[in-house]
Amino acid sequence: MNNKLKIGIIGLGTVGQGVVKVLSKYDDIEIVSCAVKNLSKKRDVEVKNLTKDAMEIAKDPSIDVVVEVAGGVGILEVLSLAIENKKHIVTANKELLARHGAKLFDLARENGVAILYEAAVAGGIPIIMPIKTTLSANEFVSVAGILNGTTNYILTKMEEEQLSYSDCLSKAQALGYAETDPTGDVEGYDAMYKIAILANIVFNKRIDINRIYREGITNISEVDIRIADELGYKIKLIASAKKLNYDNRDDVLDIRVHPMLVSKNKSIADVKNATNAVLLTGFPVDKVMFTGPGAGEFPTASSVVGDILTIKSEIDNCKNPLPMTVCHHDKYAYQIDIEKTVNCYYLRIDANNEPGVIGRIGTASAEFGINLSYIIQKNKNQQDRATIIVITEECFEADMNNMITRLQKDKTTKVVNRIRVM
């Protein structure tokens, strides 16, 4: 293929326009057409052929690569048809890949085309290709990271400006970091899709997102942020996947998304604002961390265009380009339930300011075999109620749930928040 690489773009929002702008300097790549929802909407770029029908792009025989930056799972049928018509796919759609990646990758393998998705996980941070190439000699035991810039921005501002969650969310929305409906970000869905994709390529297993434990940041208060800081921690929304030896099996994966207290001694604790980070642990590399912008017009466009150029460099030389991107595994991972995991915990407890209350907390922990590494009474309020902070040693999630239930039955104590410790 010595002529121009011809592409069709589905979606011309912030990222799509960034892709068009970056591609404008490449004379050997031609944008044949773009599919958009609103033909009359004013945009920062001009594209000669606009259509409301994405199927036109999937069917167009002149198009070599379909670039999908529209988002959502409704595009599945379009991309499936594009693959059947032997078109390569570049996508930034993490939800689509997390929910329907198995179908798309099987279809791509059958039709001898590539699906590249560097932008789907960490925006402008290169992570997919490094795992598949430079780091391919490693046997990984874990992958974890800050995979959502909106939540990291909110938690950073809560810490630095001592504002409430709601105030920082409003600030993020005003700056365009958070959507009008921020549910996908603040409840952990976005990070869940991304860790599912990462776990898939790191452990060569298909992932059932319905079995990923997910918890957002809406219950984190400025009080928790301040106390964590005093104890030497920062609170981050962490998405993680790690391999466990459990129940005589060595192929068990613990995949989850939830807030964590992260020691200030850990490099990932220093990742601020909308920046993302991915931490890989394995042999022989040990630990390696990637950081950078996880979203935005040009950072995401950087990854999308990088994938386009990767296909361009290969398509002239071989019939089936980029064999390393072909998904050969078809088995689903054995994913452990959160109740069976082992963690350290931070508890913030509201209790009567009276003799014996700390002793009752100790008794409740002992009842379920939980050792306390730290317990302190912080203050008391006008209602003569005290704030008691507890950090535990490692214990089973199920035992911690039982301890909390036991404390909630005691009218003198109320567990206000529980956060796991990284």
Distance CA 50, CA 32 (A): 9
Q: Which residues are catalytic?
A: 194
What residues have CB less than 8 Å from 104, skipping those under 6 apart? 76, 79, 80, 83, 89, 96, 97, 115
Distance CA 139, CA 203 (A): 8
How far from 350 is each of 248, 382, 390, CA to CA, in Å? 40, 13, 11
Distance CA 305, CA 119 (A): 9
3-state SS of 263-278 is ECCCHHHHCCCCEEEE
Lookup result for tokens 């911690």: 400
Closest CA to 297 of 124, 45, 147: 124
Side chain identity at 311, as an amino acid letter?
Answer: I
Instruction: Kindly provide the b/e burial profile for residues 301-315, where b requires at least 16 CB atoms within 10 angstroms of the residue's own CB.
Output: bbbbbbbbbbbbebb
What's the N-to-C CA distance of the chain in angstroms?
50
Distance CA 100, CA 105 (A): 9
At 206, list the tokens. Answer: 């298909």
What residues have CB less than 8 Å from 38, skipping those under 6 apart? none
CA 306 to chain centre: 21
Measured over the CA atoms of residue 397, residue 400, residue 406 and residue 410, the dihedral's sign is negative
Q: Which helix (H) or strand (E) holds 168?
A: helix 165-174
What residues have CB less than 8 Å from 293, skipping those under 6 apart? 123, 124, 125, 149, 274, 275, 276, 299
Closest CA to 415 of 41, 407, 297, 190: 407
Closest CA to 257 of 197, 313, 318, 334: 197
How far from 54 is each of 45, 82, 93, 98, CA to CA, in Å? 19, 10, 15, 21
